[in-house]
Amino acid sequence: MILELNFKSGRPAYLQIVEQIKFGVAMGRLKTGAQLPSIRELAEQLRINRNTVAKAYGELEHEGVVETIQGKGVFVKSGGTQLAKGARESNVAAALDAAIVQAHHMRIGKEELKRILDERLEAFEERKEGRS
């Protein structure tokens, strides 16, 4: 699994790591029990400070996505969110609402919005395939 950071995005580096690893787990690219790169290793690879990686791993452990075993390493734990279906859907709905409001202000109509969604979904598909 290869991580990539976008330093210009304004999104905190540690959050980008957290999200990409959660994404990998959700995608099935990182299976339960798989070992993550060591803090030192990942920090070197991404050319960032070890503290930043440590913070990301700490966050992941806090969320129950990974498990650290002292002296052994960091491993993928279970299998994703445990929220009920309804709660999961409403989280997604909230994100879509934001997109709809944004589209309104950008004077982009319903059909065009759907078209863009299709485009972005395809872009994500490609990234997924390209990396697996």
Scanning 33-41, 78-86, 93-101, 120-128 for contacts with DNA by CB under 7 A, the matching segment is: 33-41
Cβ proximity of 13 and 52 under 8 Å = yes
Q: Report the C-alpha gap between 40 and 48 in whole angstroms.
A: 10
Of 3 and 103, CB closest to its own copies: 103
Among the residue ranges 12-20, 84-92, 97-105, 112-120, the one whose residues contact DNA (CB under 7 A): 12-20
Contacts of 74 (CB under 8 A, 6+ apart): 35, 36, 38, 39, 57, 61, 66, 67, 68
- Nearest distance from C-beta of residue 71 to its own copies, angstroms: 8
Q: From CA 127, how far away is CA 131, in angstroms rounded?
A: 6
Is 76 a binding residue for DNA by CB under 7 A? The answer is no
Binding site for its own copies (CB under 8 A): 7-8, 10, 12, 19, 22-23, 25-27, 62-63, 65, 67-70, 72, 80-89, 91-93, 95-108, 110, 113-114, 116-117, 119-121, 124
Count CA within 13 A, CB hemisphere, residue 40.
1
Minimum distance between the CB of residue 16 and DNA, rounded to whole angstroms?
8
